[in-house]
Amino acid sequence: MSSYEFIPHVADVRLKIKAKEINNLFTAALIGMSNLLKSDGCSNFDNLENSKIVKDTIEISSIDLTTLLIDFLSEVLTHSHVNKSIYCKVKFDKLTDNFLVATIWGRKIDSFDEDIKAVTYHEADISKDNQGDLSTIIIFDI
């Protein structure tokens, strides 16, 4: 099970993410960011017609797992702006501590509810608690 919650701030939005596995942490971060871009934008995604679905493949190398997560979200954000879409589903073909290959699926939207300028590295640090659960905070510059 994974989860995310928004933590309010004046000039940015903090997203606190928790998950049992790395792929679930990345997926929760993706859905959290997409739902920030378009409120409830990922609800009912699985019921969309195939003709309304956008699909892209991304490949990213980074120095460590935390940087990989930020780079992943930044790349998805770029695709969101270029394609005027939000991405709600991801399949990782490969996911290590410093490399990923993934297919992302999303849907076109008319407009964003929130304009995310950047995904920042500030405060991002994937950690593991005593139960083995992973967590981090992602700050979006808005």
pLDDT tens track for 117-132 = 999 998 899 999 999 9
pLDDT tens per residue, range 3-48: 888 776 667 899 999 999 999 999 999 999 999 999 988 988 888 7
> What average pLDDT does this structure show over 83-93?
97
Exposed, middle or buried by CB within 10 Å (0-12, 13-18, 19+), for 18? Answer: middle
In a 3-state reduction of DSSP, which class is residue 124? coil
Report the pLDDT value the prediction gives residue 45, as an integer from 0 to 100: 85
pLDDT at position 87 over 80:
yes
Domains (ranges, CATH) in the chain?
3-41+52-141 (3.55.10.10)
